[in-house]
Chains A and B, each alone.
Chain A
Amino acid sequence: MTPLFRKPVIFAFCACLILFSSGIAGAQQTLMMATTTSTDDTGLLDYLMPLFTKDSGIDLKWTATGTGKALKLGENCDVDVLLVHAPPAEKKFVEDGFGINRRQVMYNDFVLIGPAGDPAAIKGKTVKEALAAIRAKQSVFTSRGDKSGTHQQELALWKAAGGPMPEKEPWYVQTGQGMLATINVAAERNGYTMTDRGTFIKYEADHKGNPPLKILVEGDQVLLNQYSVITVNPARCPKVKADLAETFSKWMAGERGQQLIAGFKLLDKQLFTPNANE
């Protein structure tokens, strides 16, 4: 016979393989969530989830992607619950019967950031004026370009600013990547971009409080970034753990979740404002 298993080393090698294969987690109640990169990148979920698991006994796992893909995963019944921030798309998602019980849980706001030199001189302007100035100056503006909540918000702002939607203009750079990557591209190109405040604070923290890009426009009403929790519709997706999703959704919108959100700080700055009760 072929002496495949005669040598002890080969046997040990196979034993190692088997050892690794014992690595599947035990059967706890597991809730699967799709969320956006901003909640994951800022560390909010790393902060909240152990506390949620302690309170509820539910093990929450999440995959962080753009809102577009998160909604698609919900549509395909691959996740139980969504934590996303693109209100118009969310409303359509619920209207189409893909989700139920959309609950607003918190917001942060978007800001326009750019180099300290501010070549298009947008500092202190309204969003509408600022975007018009960037377009007029043809200053570099980086966009997520990935159908994420942030990207959809940015497009809405361009639309509100009037004029043709920027698409192929040389100064309009679509990265197709996450928020922090997009900020980094803007920094490299000495350009402007729009980001949620939470990600920007994280970016500031990464640069020891002195980043190359600064907040230039903020506080405009149109820059509000609303996050909601949506349960994937169990009528369409029978395998969805709707009860666990509801538990999570209520916990986030409830007193405990809201307090914790308010208490999540980076560089002593609050990143998200709870607003479930509004």
Chain B
Amino acid sequence: MEFLLDGFVQAIILLVHLDPETYSAIRATLWSSSAAMAVSLVLGLPAGFWLGYHNFYGKHALRTVVDTLLSLPTVLVGLIVYAFISRQGPLGEMGLLFTLPGIAVGQAILAWPVVVALTATAVESMDRQLSITLRSLGADRRQLLLSTLWEARFGILAAGVTAYGRVMTEVGISMMVGGNIKWATRTMTTAIALETNKGMFATGVALGLVLLAIAFAVNVSLSFLRRQVR
């Protein structure tokens, strides 16, 4: 039990003393998860809008598929991405294995269904009159998409926060694709896994608390953003 308290003390020490290993892992975590979020938002928002806005044959089945993808096991994503970006794989030439962009690719795949599903829900829950209003005021298709997403911005922000939480705390992809390389691809979560494997439970707790603190900081800045876009 006492390692929990030790971990708490150690977490503060790590942060206050600017421990370079910890900051390297924080940076790796923020880099890969932010890049993953950027990609999954760019690809996920239009898809989510399309899925939420239009009615078409098979929509229900497609929703079920997307909802199932919400439960994608991270290790499966890690293995699939590894298969593609391994030097033997079809995308091996790009040299993504054991790099942060490689992790970001896997995490973007993880985040994409979250963004799509929650955006679709947010767009679906918009008043039907919104579309009529936008179009009767002269919006073309692109403006319709942008304005609808903007109207649904709180739901979409929630989608972003949920997806961000999922990618920031996943271990499977970071470990498999990133390789937990010190100073390079060691993220907060792989560092926690490593320390725990080494039996350094207190350090694991400390890093876990640091990760929680990062999540807190991210959420505080997003809720600040939320107030700005009211």
B partners with A: yes
A-B contacts counted at CB < 8 A amount to 90
Interface string of A47-73 (1 = CB under 8 A from B): 000000000000001111100000000
- Give residues 30-67 of B contacting A (CB, 8 Å): 30-31, 34-35, 38
Using known A-B contacts A10-B228, A10-B229, A41-B198, determine if residue A78 contacts B221 with beta carbons closer than 8 Å. no
Contact A24 B99 (CB under 8 A): yes
In the assembled complex, the CB of A48 is this many whole angstroms from the nearest CB of chain B, namely 13
Determine the distance from Cα of A9 to Cα of B227 in the docked complex, in whole angstroms.
10
Cβ contact within 8 Å between B197 and A180: yes
* Size bracket, chain A contacts: 35 or more
**Complex CA–CA separation, A3 to B229 (angstroms):** 9
Q: Does chain A have a CB within 8 A of B200?
A: yes
Assess A64 versus B31: contact at CB under 8 Å? Given A2-B147, A237-B87.
Answer: no
B200: chain A residues within 8 A (beta carbon): 180, 206
Residue A161 lies at the interface, judged by CB distance under 8 Å to chain B: no
- Establish whether residues B199 and A7, one from each chain, have CB atoms under 8 Å apart when the complex forms: no
Tell me, yes or no, whether B101 is within 8 Å of chain A by CB: yes
Q: Is the CB of A78 within 8 A of B228?
A: no
B88 on the A face (CB < 8 A)? yes
Tell yes or no: A239 within 8 A of B by CB.
Answer: yes
Set B35, B150, B181: member contacting A61, Cβ < 8 A:
B181
CB atoms of A184 and B225 under 8 A apart = no
* Interface check B97, CB cutoff 8 A: yes
A178 touching B198 by the CB < 8 A rule? yes
Interface residues of B in 123-168 (CB under 8 A from A): 143, 146-147, 149-150
B98 at the interface (CB under 8 A from A): yes
Cβ of B121 under 8 Å from chain A: no
Q: Does A136 contact B (CB under 8 A)?
A: no
A2 near B146 with CB under 8 A, answer yes
A21, B32: Cα distance in complex, Å: 9
A-binding residues in B (CB < 8 A):
27, 30-31, 34-35, 38, 86-88, 92, 97-101, 143, 146-147, 149-150, 179-184, 194, 196-200, 221, 224-225, 228-229
Q: 3 tightest A-B contacts by CB?
A: A63-B179, A178-B197, A77-B87
Listed in ascending order, the chain A residues whose CB lies under 8 Å from chain B are 1-4, 7, 9-10, 13, 16-17, 20-21, 23-25, 32, 37, 41, 46, 61-65, 76-78, 177-178, 180-181, 183-184, 202-203, 206, 237, 239
